[in-house]
Structure 1
Amino acid sequence: MYSCFRPGKTWYDTDGKPIQAHGGSILFANDTFYWYGENKEGITGRATGTACRYWHHGVKLYSSKDLYNWKDEGLIMPESADENNPFYPAHIMDRPHIIFNKKTGMYVMWAKTARGSFDGAAFSVCISDDIKKPFRFLHEINLPPFHAGDFDLIEEDGKGYVVYENPHTSMICQTLTEDFTSLTDEYSEHMKEKCPPFVREAPAFFQRGGRKFLLTSGTTGYFPNPSRFDEIKELHGRWVTLGNACRNDTANNSFHAQFSSVFRHPYKKDLYIALGDRWLTDLSPQMPDIQKVFHGLFDETAPKIAANADLSTFSDENTSEAKYVWLPVRFDKNGDPYIEWAFEWRIDAFETV
């Protein structure tokens, strides 16, 4: 039995198997915590000598009463055997997010999906009336003039929103339909940048004391880079950059992780947990500056540190072995958020509401 969090260590479920819920998020329902994410079991990159042809094996769900010990509840969105289905395992399927619609009583899952490459990625939408039951695929949403990138789902005062990266360009906030299964025409564009690594991705939204925040990473694929906090004054209004999210991050790479969501504990005062993945576990200490590498790849005026082909020599991308980095979000005297490293930490260090 676990009694603390140990970021970056292999995390086993109650059956003794490594947890597979990557790019994950947490829902709290019926006095139970539910952690869901990408099932990367057996997704080995080139680690076995032959390139793995699959990207995922569906969306996995785990349940817990204490956030430390997790029971495998199975697949809530299984992979499909149909090559035309967006959940076919050789297709890209990233960062599922689930939002509950109080009006319809349905859990609505969105996932970023693409066939073969990220170009032309779409959102795939699925629904279920029970978080533990398999979800039913509804439809794919294409986004001209934008494309689907990393995203988060937001519910505020009964209205739904999706905040997503328009790849290699900007961050889009778009209002959802009343049932949360489609998009309206209301949107706004934010965080516009010239190219990777400066374009933001992996948005994770949360609120505290009436203030809205967004945690994002730069754009360097699975390679870790600095994270950033922004304050959202209005979802379709002004967004303000607060700066580097991680304090005392000596390698300037978000403690070798990329965060996918921020979860607010329902019973602990000011306990917000940033859920991250340590996607690559075999990076050399002699790695070049990955931000400069990506800048050179996407900006013809920038120095060329490495070629695109060199990226595959930096790591096997064996995501089946990816680890989790969960850290508490702290707040300074001005109420601005930041994240610090902890070798281990406990929930009982936070005051009960």
Structure 2
Amino acid sequence: MNQLEQVKESGVLTVLTRYDPTTYYESANGFSGLEYDLVQLFAEHLQVKTAYILPDTFAAILQKTRSGEADFSAAGISITEERKQHFLFPPAYQQISEQLICRSGTHRPKDAKDLVNGILEAVKGTSHMQTLEKLKQSIPELQWQSNATLDTDGLLYLLNERLIDYTIADSNQMTLIRRFYPKLNVAFYISPIRYLAWAFKKSDDLSLYNEAVIFFNKIKKNHRLEQLIERHYGHTRNIKYVGNCTFRLHFQSHLPQYQALFQSAADQHEFDWRLLAAIGYQESHWNKHAVSPTGVKGSMMLTQATASQVGVADRTDPRESIFGGALYLLKFPNNYLW
């Protein structure tokens, strides 16, 4: 019996992950995170349930994957040449870059050569360590501390408290956590573009791995992956340190133009128009011309796939966008995959 057959026979998919806003965490509405949602979709694809293992460190996740203690890892793992020697990676689901992080009020380095006079700390076992090792080949005086107990979130806390001078974080991590640490800044990109993917133990049995390849090709083709990324990261484009002031200005200047549309669309589906307006503000600041880097656009920031689902031909038309957003909210109240 191959691995795929074993998973289906047991009815459980066992996955290694880590507790992080980018991967897996518990919110007021239950578990969430991009990795969590992807794994749940894959389990649905296989018609099985899920079980999660959360090791104490990132290094332990990789070690347990290699020793076959779970079916695979879904933990925001960067594909590197070194890791390809030990793991199999299905199609990547997200593109990121490693960033050198510093704090406001301290020396802001311009490049890696400026790091030699400060305390630089990074998480043991991550691709960040591999990046530093490569930099040291051209900057022999470069030094850093390898932390085996804290994750990136922990090091960002130390940096915010001025206990260290610099650390490294993936761009997706900084995107989600920066709102909690407004004094942390990206000094520069310290690595080329990297791609995140699940990690499977290298084995002659490729049955489950091949099914994961089929799964990712499917959710890329039907835009489900695009929708999930927009769900977890789309809101961050509107996070600003002067957000309250901005809201008051938009409340006075923008909302009156669209309030009747929000009320009409909400009345049609029997829910509070203020909920619909709040979603519209979170998505676009009530800007019918809004466009995100991932291609969503309009007042409700609909993806092309979502627009097709709700019959919207012109995403930049406020009426179409608002009524389409209302219909999607009615059909999928827990998703908000604009």
TM-score by length of 2: 0.26
Higher strand share: 1
TM-score by length of 1: 0.25
The structure number with the bigger radius of gyration is: 2
Larger RCO, structures 1/2 (Cα 8 Å, 6+ apart): 2
Higher helix share: 2
